[in-house]
Amino acid sequence: MLDPSNEYFLPYRWLGFNVYPRVTYRFNDLSDIDEIIKKYDKTVKKNIRSAQNKGVKIIEDENVDNLYNMLEATFRVQNRKYPYSKELISNIFQAAKEHGSGKILTAVDSNGNVHASSLFLYDERTCYYLISGADPEFRSSGAQTLLIHESIRFASTVSRAFDFEGSMIEGIETFFRRFGCEPAVYYEISKKSFFGEVKDILKPRIKRLIGYKM
């Protein structure tokens, strides 16, 4: 993946790599957090209030188990298995934490129920919303919206920009865009076998046939 600031990909093409455009969403200037919050649309603001009224709190979490359980729950509702191991997620978090560049935030209610959890990686330039999961049972609580809101507030204290690690899936894109962030194109660079390229061509078509939202 190239950073959005790197738009020059021709050398990769000349070397036989495939170049795919992707879209992420960003706040490029976090210097005035009040102005950022003003950009939220009414649905985002409503969901934040709803979560707060239901007693949902955002805590700094050292427990990778909570995060991983939420990741598994997110995939389970799609009848899919989360593709990465808990050990890998734990290793990423521990390495980032050792360098002062990683944080897990978790949304919990007054009964101790975990609603959502996310892992963030950051430096002085950018805070990345790397991975996130939520319990479908609490989908209507507004917790995930509140979690992102608090993560943006945190990001404004450590980084200049916040990157939603964008998605090409319509529903996720809509959710991110409601925060008032800006779209940014970046490029995925890869080199695959003939069969890998055929798989990439067929995969979105198969998803459309079975009604999977892209």
Handedness of CA 188, 192, 194, 196 (dihedral sign): negative
pLDDT in tens, 87-142: 999 999 999 999 999 999 999 999 999 999 999 999 999 999 999 999 999 989 99
On the CB side of 141, CA atoms within 13 Å amount to: 24
Q: Please state the rounded mean pLDDT for residues 54-74.
A: 94
- Report the Cα 197 to chain-centroid distance in Å: 26
Q: Bridge-partner residues for 118, per DSSP?
A: 105, 132
Q: Is 74 helix (H, G, I), strand (E, B) or coil?
A: helix
Is 101 part of a structural domain of the chain? yes
Is 41 part of a structural domain of the chain? yes
Residue 181 is part of which domain span? Answer: 21-189
pLDDT in tens, 1-14: 888 888 899 999 99
Q: Is 58 exposed, middle or buried (0-12, 13-18, 19+ CB in 10 A)?
A: buried
How many helices and strands, by DSSP H and E, does the chain display?
8, 7
Is 119 part of a structural domain of the chain? yes
Q: Is 209 exposed, middle or buried (0-12, 13-18, 19+ CB in 10 A)?
A: exposed
* pLDDT score at 193: 65
Is 150 part of a structural domain of the chain? yes
Is 200 part of a structural domain of the chain? no
Q: The CATH number of the domain where 142 resides is what?
A: 3.40.630.30
Query: How many independent structural domains does the chain possess?
Result: 1
Pull the structure tokens for residue 144.
């995930």
